Amino acid sequence: MVKNIFPAIRALIAKELMENLHHTQNETANLMSITQPAISQYSRELRGKKVVILNSNEKVASIIKESAKTLAKQDERNNTGIMCNICREIRREGLLCKLHKEIAPSLKTCDLCMDADSLC
């Protein structure tokens, strides 16, 4: 999650804020409580390279777009809940398992991520 999914989520939210909601890199960084250089790296696709796996799922892509809109409207910056909602949907849709199996083919029979007890 930390190495692949979180950066991809942040990259997609940053892209949505800049391209569709017309925020600058500085504004986007402030909205997301991260640095402008990080935003620059996301926009140049130097970070968050697993965006394809997230964009391939309509539900997840839609939640990310809605989350960017929510983040842009918030008076107080707290994206913890936003990230949790997106992560929950990624797990429900089986995308985390798909990523795990890409990284470690020996996990081809694993379904731990889909266990209802492990969904936060």
Interval 51-105: pLDDT, tens: 888 989 999 999 999 999 999 987 655 666 888 899 889 988 988 888 877 777 7
pTM: 0.83
Q: Contacts by 76-79 with C-beta closer than 8 Å and gap 24+?
A: 77/30, 77/31, 77/32, 77/33, 79/32, 79/33
Number of domains in the chain: 1
Band of residue 24 on the pLDDT scale cut at 50, 70, 90: very high
- Residue 75: per-residue pLDDT: 60
What average pLDDT does the chain have?
86
97, 57 contact by CB (below 8 A): no
- Domain region containing 32: 5-118
